[in-house]
Structure 1
Amino acid sequence: MDNSWDSLKLGHTVGMNRSHRLPPDFDGRPFSTAEGSGAGLTKKRMRASDLARPYPATRTPRGKNNSVNLLIHTYAHRMSESDFFSHVTAARVHGLPLPYAVERTQTIHVSTEAPALRDRVRGVRGHHVAPQTVTVVDVQGLHVTSAVDTWCQLSTMLGLDDLIRIGDALMRRKHPFATTRDLLTAVRRYSGHRGVKLLREALIWIRPGVDSPRETDLRLLIVRSGLPEPEVNGLILGRTGVKLATGDLVFRRYRVLLEYDGGQHRTDENQYHWDVDRLDALMEETWRVIRINKSHLRNPPEVIRRVTVALMAGGWRP
């Protein structure tokens, strides 16, 4: 585990008088020592025990949640104009799905086009990128590599299925980051780089319109088991043309629908009742609905058995 946050362990300042309080603009947020000096804070005040120093020339109030998100925003206060977040850190900022082990790390990834300016600070991994080879965008006030360039960079750090999940997330059904053409263009541009072979393989499996990484996992399990490939988030209409559902994974020819049930399907009462009504409507239209949750995915053979039985009942033959 990285130790970037060792200096941010919980602490409390007792008897802090009014003259030692931080300016209101600094309340609860990280700031640079240059900002502090500009606001009239003395060096002694910025060494006080109520402020932590996760990185040189930065301060953040103690007692704040030691999340990676706070570390990112803290480090942003010491970045130069040529620096930008990249790789895993950029993926976090974009909200792209990462494997659990990677999600836990507190290492911050920062890239620059000027190798001489690459920061060498504990808890920060610096990268050099050739000029004009990546697109840098602004997300929540942070300079980060574009979502598509971030996916390409991660090909040197993640496995095939991780890249497929992220690729599906880039072309998600609602508010997608990219199109298939965008990914193809990016992979061609990445030709010659380490990891491009894995990106090309991931492209074969990536599909547009996916809603969650679990849907991706379920689809990969189905197809890799030799079953026909389902339609992703397909529109299902009734005999009268009324919409019955947008199905997660649809075997239209065999009238079989696979639905992945996330936690909200159990905890949201309105969602639960809507699911019941929708299931009844689909059954009236002779659709076979198979509902899968996280626990089912721990037993892949049983999932395949259930889907196979349903497909064969609908007329499919191996």
Structure 2
Amino acid sequence: MTPATDLIDRCRAFLPAMGPRMLFSHVTAALLHGLPLPAAMTDADPLHVSARAPMRAPRHVGIRGHQTRQPDDAIVSLHGLPVSSPVETWCQMASVLQERDLVVLGDALLTKRKPLATVDDLVLAVDASPCRPGIRRLRSATSRVRPRTESPMETILRLAIVDAGLPEPAVDYRILGATGEAAAHGDLVFPSARVVVEYDGDHHRTDARQYYIDVDRLWRIRSLGWEVVRINKSHMSGNAVEAIRRIRLALAST
């Protein structure tokens, strides 16, 4: 995800009114970093601006003010703007997000393609602020984040699998060939059952190159004797009931 040009322009327009100890934070910071948020939070109004203590939270029309005690290393320059770091932003969002959405956001920081943090970074940040709003949700979410996830829906599917009482699948698992070479990888994998669960987002269908890569990869996996369960958005409604049904059947048949 990339932030909308309109959001960046609005932040830049407010920049002259900001003091030297002020920065964009919370929802605004998450949007600027391109992090996934629930649909209800993707509206960029109001701008979230934090003032570092002892400065008080700013009060302006169209601004949601906060006071923070975050250190210098929890602030980055992004698009020429002072912004909470990705890890600090994740911690700040604990005050408004439910646990599942915090895990989705945390996984996005640890994504396979362009990771913005490590699990250790998240643990250290949580331990450093034991009185932070939403700290219980944050601690619980920290234990459930996993590196190398490829999409928010993959995270949601993984959480649904565990919440349904099934074993937790391995993320981005390497599948070995007959001679021990790395033959392919699976999104969510049950190694002992030799079952691979793949979440097919729209880009798997609309991106021709990705489609061809996936066809070949899944053929290699099946040729090695693994079962592949393909899940898409239509299977995720109603707490992913249909997705879980298909995965249960695959696990029961091994």
- The 5-angstrom pairing of residues 1-318 of structure 1 reads 67-114=6-53, 116=55, 118-130=57-69, 132=71, 135-299=74-238, 300-314=240-254
Secondary structure class of the residue paired with 1:310: helix
Q: What per-residue deviation string (whole Å, max 9, x for no partner) do you get for residues 74-122 of structure 1?
A: 2224322221111111111111111110112421011112555643221
| Distance (Å, rounded) in 1 between the aligned partners of 2:8 and 2:120 | 31
Q: Does the 8 Å CA contact 1:170/1:176 hold for their aligned counterparts? A: yes
Letter in 2 for 1:206: V
Q: Does the 8 Å CA contact 1:167/1:206 hold for their aligned counterparts? A: yes
Residue equivalent to 1:35: none
Secondary structure class of the residue paired with 1:229: coil
Alignment RMSD: 2.0
Q: Does the 8 Å CA contact 1:134/1:149 hold for their aligned counterparts? A: no
Residue equivalent to 1:10: none
Unaligned runs of 5+ in 2: none
What TM-score comes out, normalization by structure 1 length?
0.74
| Distance (Å, rounded) in 2 between the aligned partners of 1:258 and 1:114 | 47
Aligned positions, number: 250
Secondary structure class of the residue paired with 2:141: helix
| Distance (Å, rounded) in 2 between the aligned partners of 1:133 and 1:194 | 20
Q: Does the 8 Å CA contact 1:68/1:106 hold for their aligned counterparts? A: no
Unaligned runs of 5+ in 1: 1-64
What TM-score comes out, normalization by structure 2 length?
0.91
| Distance (Å, rounded) in 1 between the aligned partners of 2:70 and 2:227 | 54
Secondary structure class of the residue paired with 1:265: helix
| Distance (Å, rounded) in 1 between the aligned partners of 2:81 and 2:144 | 31
Offset at residue 140 of structure 1 (A): 2.1
Offset at residue 280 of structure 1 (A): 1.9
Letter in 1 for 2:198: E
Greater relative CO, 1 or 2 (CA 8 Å, sep 6+): 2
| Distance (Å, rounded) in 1 between the aligned partners of 2:218 and 2:208 | 15
Secondary structure class of the residue paired with 1:207: coil
Letter in 1 for 2:146: R
Offset at residue 131 of structure 1 (A): 6.3
Offset at residue 143 of structure 1 (A): 0.7
Secondary structure class of the residue paired with 2:236: helix
| Distance (Å, rounded) in 2 between the aligned partners of 1:172 and 1:279 | 21
Secondary structure class of the residue paired with 2:184: strand
User: Relative to structure 1, is the Cα distance of residues 202 and 114 closer, same or farther in structure 2, using a 3 angstrom cutoff?
Assistant: closer
